[in-house]
Copies of this chain bind each other. A is one copy, B any other.
């Protein structure tokens, strides 16, 4: 695990730690959308909302392209997968340990007889 990846994970998790930004990720799961479309459901000044978009783009969860005066955002799968991977790995380790613990306790129980 390189430092770069660590920093990336930091940013991704931090980005997801906000309901507005998670809502944006959910929305973009349905397909690309413009700044205006994304902002509409959130009662928040546009510049404030754009900071959230910037955070999402900075951590790579999202990409944008401007055509004419419209900027369109789309979801980017890799960072989400990386974060998911981290959690799945953690859980795997944790569960493996509990399995070993079960074995151990089982052996204890058997050796009682």
Contacts and interface: CB of A to CB of B under 8 A. Distances in A.
A97 interface: yes
Copies of the protein in its oligomer: 2
Nearest to A28: B94
A25 interface: yes
A88 B84 contact: yes
Interface of A: 6, 9-19, 22, 25-26, 29-31, 75, 77, 80-81, 83-84, 86-88, 90-91, 93-94, 97
B6 A11 contact: no
A12 B102 CA distance: 28
B22 A94 contact: no
A22 B93 CA distance: 14
